[in-house]
Amino acid sequence: MRRALCAVALLALACLLVRAARVGLAGDYIDAISKITAQDEALYAHSAIAMARDGDWLTPRFMGRYALYKPPLLVWTAAVSSRLLGVSRLSLRLPIAIFSALSLGLLFLWGGELAGWQAGAVAGALLLSNHMWHTLAGLCMTDGLLLAFYIAAFYALFWDPWLESRAALFGFSGAVAAAILTKGIAGTLPLAVLGLYWLAARRQERPTFLRVCLAAALALVFAAPWFIYQFTVHPQWFWTEHIAVEILGFGAGAPPQTSHENQAVFYLMRLAITDPLLLAAAAVAIPAFLLDLRRRTAAPVLLAAWIAVMLAAALGWQYRNAAYLLPLVPAMALLAAVWGPFRTRRYAPWMWVVLAGAFLIKTSAPELPWGLDYRAGTVQPTAPILSAYCGQARGNELIVLDAADDLYAAALPLARLRYATIAPVAAPAGPYSMPFAEMGITVTVDQFNDLARYAPAFRARLRGWGLDSGAPVATLITARTVADLTALVRAHPESDFLIPAIYRKAVESAPQELVGAAAGYLLLLSRAPLGRTSPPAWSCRM
């Protein structure tokens, strides 16, 4: 079975790497229905590139400021890969693809041990052909990495339900610790699964209460050093961004939503549309699964605990995100493969034919929500413009209006980058944001036009927050009106700008050269170009 596991993992890795090499950074949709892009990928990529090139491996940064909204394991893996292989979208995504492929191999092994290698193959094929897994397992984002650690933790518990062996105990605890270091509170969900399993399983097929406590304690101890370090070294920033904003604000609060459906409808719709075959196969397996569950044997109880905890977390978490469905996908694949009617030797070959046909159909319709997209390209309309601009190796600073690129420019080797936005009313710092205006990270047009006057006060405030650097000052400029945009462009003839074409009238009298760009955007290039002392440090085609 080990050889089969390696073969399955290598096949999955090959599929993931093709996408990783061809799809642009932040160039795919996380939610194919609401058209929510993978903006966070550019953010994590920027932090990983900065870490690989500049050091400070314990504290991720974004555009010069601390980035403590998530623990750093994803950034660490991407940074190590970029340090070893050079900066590219493939090197940034490679660790996530490797872990995801290995976890698919574990799912194959799991199904094989329960109902024969045919069931394992069906489980692996169902996961491999799932749109959501295919997308998130090949991006530099936390979701695919988190799922891989979930599967590793659950497999350790399945392999040794008593957690008596050192391999199972440390495997479970280590996987949970890695999950915590990937996504914080969400990483502790396997502990909830363990607790629910301990309550529901038969006494002879569950660990002792002391063993459960030991596994949980080890996981927390393994994960704790980074959190203790940040509490010690950056207490105010860590508490505000990681605890107050990320956990208490977005987690326990009610942040603005991207859709208006209720929780259940939102997730059911996305599950049904992104993979109707998986949903149907899992639904058909439910009667046999429930029959087995009544006996309270280890395997169905563990799977039921997995599904129950992940479903409760998705429905209970106030913010709706299609990616929160991802942990349910391998559980449903295992359910369909092991308890479905097609697991026997008689019917398994027909199921493989159906799955192979479904895979081909999905790859032939990449533009649909359930399709598998292997095409080269990106959903970011400004990515080709910014890549071409980066290739000019200009030394001028670039100001991108309205973050139209979903932070894609932040991952490019530009001399200096700022963002600007037009917001009629200033958004006060609240439970869902940091006080960046107080720190000078966010500035008004008037402040930016007289930055030398304000910079010393901003630097002092940043030092008060534990950051002795001027790099993050004025990385976001807020204009109240279109007239403010005109004033900004006129006051900085030395800067380049990328703006949506709808603001053409506001910049017609700009001192820069107006260059029409594709996809409804304009480039304003300074008439005093600055040369770079060296070529771009990494590829401009991210």
Q: Residue 426's pLDDT is what?
A: 57
Q: Residues 230-265: pLDDT tens digits?
A: 999 999 999 998 888 888 776 655 566 666 777 788
Nearest to 156 by CA among 218, 97, 96: 218
Q: Residues 357-401: pLDDT tens digits?
A: 888 888 888 888 888 888 888 989 899 999 999 999 899 999 999
Residues 415 and 345 in one domain: no
Across 361-482, the runs of DSSP E, i.e. the strands, are: 397-401, 416-422, 442-444, 476-479
Grade residue 343 by pLDDT with cuts at 50, 70 and 90.
Answer: low
Residues 317 and 347 in one domain: yes
Q: Residue 344's pLDDT is what?
A: 64
- Please name the helix (run of DSSP H) or strand (run of DSSP E) that holds residue 22, with its range, or none: helix 2-22
Question: Which is it for the CA torsion 363, 368, 369, 375, positive or negative?
Answer: positive
Please report the DSSP string for 289-324 in residue order.
Answer: HHHHHTTT-HHHHHHHHHHHHHHHHHHHSSS--GGG
Residues 6+ apart with CB under 8 A from 508: 514
Q: Residue 369's pLDDT is what?
A: 87
Residues 342 and 407 in one domain: no
Residues 103 and 147 in one domain: yes
Residue 419 CA to residue 414 CA, distance in Å, equals 13
Nearest to 37 by CA among 27, 23, 48, 52: 27
**Tokens at residue 494, please?**
């030395």
350 has a pLDDT exceeding 80: no
Residue 374 lies inside a defined structural domain of this protein = no
Please report the DSSP string for 184-224 in residue order.
Answer: GGGGGHHHHHHHHHHHHS-GGGS--HHHHHHHHHHHHHHHH
Query: Which position has the token pair 């610790």?
Result: 177
Residues 40 and 186 in one domain: yes
Q: Residue 495's pLDDT is what?
A: 94
- Please name the helix (run of DSSP H) or strand (run of DSSP E) that holds residue 513, with its range, or none: strand 513-517
Q: Residue 257's pLDDT is what?
A: 62
CA atoms in the 13 A half-sphere facing the CB of 413? 17
CB distance 139 to 41 below 8 Å:
yes
Residue 2 lies inside a defined structural domain of this protein = no
Q: Residues 399-430: pLDDT tens digits?
A: 999 877 789 999 999 999 999 998 876 555 55
Domain enclosing residue 256, as ranges: 26-364
Residues 317 and 392 in one domain: no
Least confident interval from 95-104, 221-230, 427-436, 506-515: 427-436
Q: Residue 171's pLDDT is what?
A: 96
**Tokens at residue 328, please?**
């349910």
Grade residue 431 by pLDDT with cuts at 50, 70 and 90.
Answer: low
Question: Which is it for the CA torsion 425, 431, 437, 443, positive or negative?
Answer: negative
Grade residue 348 by pLDDT with cuts at 50, 70 and 90.
Answer: low
84 has a pLDDT exceeding 90: yes
Q: Residues 511-540: pLDDT tens digits?
A: 989 887 677 899 999 998 887 767 888 898
Mean pLDDT of the chain: 90
pTM (predicted TM-score): 0.93
Angstrom distances, CA of residue 443 to CA of 133, 208, 439, 454, 473: 39, 57, 9, 10, 8
Residues 399 and 346 in one domain: no
Residues 388 and 359 in one domain: no
Question: What is the average per-residue pLDDT within 82-93?
Answer: 95
Residues 338 and 422 in one domain: no
Q: Residue 90's pLDDT is what?
A: 95
Residues 491 and 460 in one domain: yes
Share of the chain above pLDDT 70, in %: 95
Q: Residue 428's pLDDT is what?
A: 54
What residue type is 239 in one-letter code? W
Share of the chain above pLDDT 90, in %: 64
16 has a pLDDT exceeding 90: yes
Residues 6+ apart with CB under 8 A from 229: 58
